[in-house]
Structure 1
């Protein structure tokens, strides 16, 4: 539970850093479409960093290992989804776009896992 809270806080900071880098550092280096891709990555990164904080609090409140599992699935999905988009923009390797949906799928599974864990705990 504590690990999810720490990861959530660190990733929230990292998402802000990545968002600022995209808005200021990449503006003159990549085209508008890639800037949009970066913005999507940092937006989802930030949402799911906040989600990790929420899951950490809920897991502590309910003492649920299912919620902890949901948090780790969300973390993995965030790494794959946002990470693949960040690397795609920085490297120009378009094939990474094929990896991104795997991260999105993990995000969906993580939220559904959390919903199921909340249902069982309440």
Structure 2
């Protein structure tokens, strides 16, 4: 699945860029609480970027039916979870914190959907 490889690679690069930006520029600008939130967003974006890369590679071995829905869910989950945390950490966007758990649930559901799809193979 070329799309998941592409998006996973881009998200991984962005998470490295944001991590460096946070460590070198935002460290002096944000409170310690805001910096922790920013780092969580970056960490989970990286973790799930690798998940997308795994799904993309498995897409060449397994059927598209097994990979498509979990991969799309993972993309949506990354955008909502990490995106809302980035906005909250940068200040002035605290209301976006209300949707962070939705992104987290979608990320969990993406892994469980993948597990269920693998289970159905046997």
Smaller-chain TM-score range?
A: over 0.9
Q: Where do residues 10-89 of structure 1 align in structure 2 (5 Å cutoff)?
A: 10-89=10-89
Check conservation: 1:11, 1:46, Cα contact below 8 A: yes
Measured in 2, the distance between the counterparts of 1:71 and 1:43 equals 18
Check conservation: 1:64, 1:121, Cα contact below 8 A: no
* Alignment gaps of 5+ in structure 2: none
Check conservation: 2:84, 2:97, Cα contact below 8 A: yes
Q: Once structures 1 and 2 are overlaid, which stretch shifts more, 71-80 or 58-67?
A: 58-67
Q: Secondary structure, in 3 states, of the residue corresponding to 1:60?
A: coil
Check conservation: 2:77, 2:104, Cα contact below 8 A: yes
* Alignment gaps of 5+ in structure 1: none
Q: Could you tell me how far 1:91 is from its partner in structure 2?
A: 3.5
Report what 1:104 is aligned to. 104
Q: Could you tell me how far 1:64 is from its partner in structure 2?
A: 3.0
Ranges of 4+ aligned residues in structure 1 off by more than 6 Å: none
Measured in 1, the distance between the counterparts of 2:27 and 2:11 equals 23
Measured in 2, the distance between the counterparts of 1:84 and 1:110 equals 18
Measured in 2, the distance between the counterparts of 1:64 and 1:118 equals 12
Q: What is the count of residue pairs matched by the alignment?
A: 122
Q: Secondary structure, in 3 states, of the residue corresponding to 2:90?
A: helix
TM-score of the superposed pair, with normalisation by structure 1: 0.95
Q: Secondary structure, in 3 states, of the residue corresponding to 1:61?
A: coil
